[in-house]
Amino acid sequence: MNEFVILILIGLIAGVFSGMFGIGGGLIMVPAMVFFLAMSQHSAQGTSLGVLVIPVAAVAAWNYYKEGELNVKYAVIIALSFVIGGYFGSKFSLGLSEVLLKRVFGILMLAMAIKLIFFTKGTTA
């Protein structure tokens, strides 16, 4: 498949999942770039973060805001903290081997999946 088409598909799929679930970068784009574009884990993570520099989620966030489903205060506090965490997290990540980074990333995704599948509380299934 053409590299341009793969990039378009990654962006579209990540955008849909971001709009639906608030995910996209780490869970969709990073693995897709590693598997379909043969990028290193570090490069895929850096590229995923580069996507966030442009306000790509602004239109999706606007839809949630219009429906009263965006807590602006929380978003601002998290965003400011994210800047600091992102800086130190990227510095730490770049010091790890790619194999270790992939394993830690996989464990994190697996742990989150198990938590969501088996330990989610709610009124409906």
At 110 the pLDDT is: 92
Burial class (CB in 10 A: 0-12, 13-18, 19+), 13: middle
At 57 the pLDDT is: 74
At 55 the pLDDT is: 72
Residues of the chain predicted below pLDDT 70: 20-22, 24, 53-54, 123-125
At 115 the pLDDT is: 85
At 22 the pLDDT is: 67
- The tokens describing 74, both together, are 């929380």
What is the C-alpha to C-alpha distance for residues 10 and 21, in angstroms, rounded to an integer? 16
At 125 the pLDDT is: 56
